[in-house]
Amino acid sequence: MNKSSLEIEKVIKLSEEKLTNDNDKATQSLEKTSNEEIKLSLSKLKSLGNSSKRQLLDKALKFLGEIYSEPTSPHYNPYILSRRINECIDLIERIGTYRHTLIEMQYGAQLAWKNSARCIGRNYWRQLDAFDYRHLESEEEIFIAIRNHLNHATNSGKLRSSVTFFAPSDELGNWQFRIWNEQIIRYAGYRGKNDHILGDSKNVIFTEAAIQLGWKPPTEKTAFDILPIIIQKKGQFPKLFELNKQEVLEVNLEHPEFTWFKDLNLKWHAVPMLSCLGIEIGGINYTAAPFNGWYLGTEIGARNLSDKDRYNLLPIIAEKMGLNQKYESTLWRDKALVELNIAVLYSFEKAGVRIVDHHTASNNFVHYEEKEKELGHKVTGEWSWLVPPLSGSVCPIFHRDYEVLDGHNSEFFVQEDLAHNFLKLSSEIIHKLDPSYLKVNNNASGKTCPFSGAII
């Protein structure tokens, strides 16, 4: 390895140390290098002190080291690293932020996926397409980009994991765009009499917020009405957009043995596209960056359709199966749960839509874990999320221990629920105008939603 490469690696190793007041040794050691460009940039770095610029630079240098100096990175290139270090130091010193290349955004998102402690599908973290739409300035343009993302990801059922980047937070940390939806495709939840819910109970608050913003549900409501997409530009009122039915691939559920199952008229959408999470990459926050993979069968069969606070279908299926629900010891829930999950997997596979069962996913995760260990990498994880909600003890992950570690250079982060905040604020305003409102809406400010657990 030549002298320049060694110098660049030394810079990254030292930049990974916290550059604080008590860490002047890092700066002193850097000054001893013979790389003239870096020595020139150090004079600017010194002037940053312990400011927010210095903290951003620290994160930027760590990320750049991860992408360009890590031997296992497909983008390993010490020469690009040297140039990017100087560019970032110069930009952060002048304007308080820096700009990623498309390669950096894509790899950062891949690393965020890899670092996601709750995801069992990390074996495919390198298979992530990325789209750069940071230049878009209107909600309408962003909606078009989301539609393009959805079309690319759907791929006639051969789902492709993808991420789309919109404008990141500015140098002051203010977001520029937010997508209110938890996922781009979700089903409405309508509150009826006696707290009866038609549709997905999890989405009652979002549904009511959308209606207050002007969304008009179908005249004949169903349990699977697709919600609008709510996009907000900083300082502007949120705007609603609706996908065409033909743009959303859905799978009608049936069972390989029970002919009556089809008559339940159940279905689920093909693409799980998260839109509520932000992605931090090297200190830059992307607050609007929808991301999709593909479904684990139990996400649909053992959670979305089965949970008591979602569609709660197990009693209905058990009744159709003729199971004795009088005693828990008959394990009627377990029997109904297995058959529902069989129906989900069977229907997706029959429709040619990509999905994975929990046993295959568990085995793939263990394989991924072993490969990472060979590379000297520690695999972190949140056990309660990694173990499938069905037949957990017969999956290999169940018998392993995992540790959750925060502070990655690239990671997803949770953002405030804007739909919830909007509904709470509107309820408070209405209450001030008309106190009788509380008699009509018993979930106004100060109450707890019985389905989501949220304070509204």
pLDDT digits (tens, 9 = 90+) for 324-371: 999 999 999 999 999 999 999 999 999 999 999 999 999 999 999 999
What does the alpha-carbon distance between residue 17 and residue 23 come to, in Å, rounded to a whole number? 8
Report CA dihedral (386, 272, 359, 361) to the nearest 10 degrees.
-70
DSSP β-bridge partners for residue 284:
281
299 an active-site residue? yes
Burial grade of 265 (CB within 10 A; 0-12, 13-18, 19 or more): exposed
Same domain, residue pair 79 and 108:
no
d(CA 341, CA 361): 15
Q: In terms of domains, do 285 and 402 share one?
A: yes
Give the residue numbers spanning the domain of 267. 103-186+226-415
Report the sign of the C-alpha dihedral through residues 423, 429, 433, 438, in that order.
positive
Long-range contacts for 88-92 (Cβ within 8 Å, ≥24 apart)?
A: 88/57, 88/60, 88/61, 88/64, 89/41, 89/44, 89/45, 89/57, 90/41, 90/44, 92/48, 92/53, 92/56, 92/57, 92/60
Same domain as 397, residue 365: yes
Q: Which of 254, 299, 339, 369 is catalytic?
A: 299
For residues 382 and 321, membership in a common domain is answered with yes
- Domain stops at, among 53, 80, 98: 98
In a domain, 304, yes or no: yes
170 and 299, same domain (yes or no):
yes
Residue 175 among the catalytic residues: no
Residues 11, 15, 16, 19: is their CA dihedral positive or negative? positive
Which pair of structure tokens corresponds to residue 73? 């990175």
Residue 456: per-residue pLDDT: 31
79 band by pLDDT with thresholds 50, 70 and 90? confident
Tokens, residue 170: 């500015």
Q: What is the pLDDT of residues 387-402, one digit of tens each?
A: 999 999 999 999 999 8
Residue 442 is predicted with a pLDDT of: 37
- The answer to whether residue 450 is domain-embedded is no
Please report the pLDDT score of residue 44 as a whole number.
58
| Residue bearing the bigger pLDDT, 241 or 453 | 241
**Is residue 166 located within the same domain as residue 279?**
yes
Average the pLDDT over 293-316 and give the result: 96
Lowest mean pLDDT among 36-45, 74-83, 260-269: 36-45
- C-alpha to C-alpha distance for 147 and 441, rounded to whole angstroms: 35
122, 186, 191, 310: the active-site residue: 122
Q: In this predicted model, which residue has the larger pLDDT, 370 or 12?
A: 370
Three-class secondary structure of residue 239 per DSSP = strand
Single out the residue in 98, 129, 159 at which a domain terminates: 98
Which of 93, 104, 119, 339 is the catalytic position? Answer: 119
Residue 385 falls in the annotated catalytic set: no
Q: Each residue of 107-130: pLDDT tens digit?
A: 999 999 999 999 999 999 999 999
Residue 264 or 48, more confident = 264
pLDDT score recorded for residue 353: 98
Give a yes or no: residue 285 inside a domain.
Answer: yes
Statement to judge: residues 251 and 342 lie in one domain: yes
Whether 414 shows a pLDDT value over 60: the answer reads yes
What pLDDT is attached to residue 432?
A: 55
Whether residue 429 lies inside any domain: the answer is: no
Of residues 415, 423, 412, the one with CA closest to residue 447: 423
State yes or no: pLDDT of 196 exceeds 80: yes
Q: Which listed residue (125, 294, 332, 395) is catalytic?
A: 294
22 shares a domain with 163: no
Could you give the percent of the chain with pLDDT greater than 70? 82
Q: Region 63-76: what's the mean pLDDT? A: 90
Given 67, 98, 129, which residue is the final one in a domain? Answer: 98
- CA neighbor of 352 nearest in space, from 162, 158, 160, 161: 158
pLDDT in the model for residue 8: 43
Q: Count of H helices and E strands in the chain? A: 15, 16
The total of other beta-carbon atoms located within 10 Å of residue 152's CB is: 15
| β-sheet bridge partners, residue 280 | 285, 411
> How many structural domains is the chain composed of?
2
The answer on 123 and 91 residing in a single domain is: no
The per-residue pLDDT of the chain, averaged, comes to 85
Q: Rounded to a whole number, what is the largest CA-CA distance in the chain?
A: 80
Please confirm, yes or no, whether 294 is among the known catalytic residues: yes
Establish if 452 belongs to a structural domain: no
Residues 177 and 56 in one domain: no
* Residue 404 confidence class, pLDDT cut points 50, 70, 90: confident
Whether 285 and 254 map to the same domain: the answer is yes
202 inside domain: no
Residue 206's pLDDT is: 96
Helix (H, G, I), strand (E, B) or coil at 290: coil
Q: Is residue 456, in this structure, part of any structural domain at all?
A: no
Residue 221 included in any domain: no
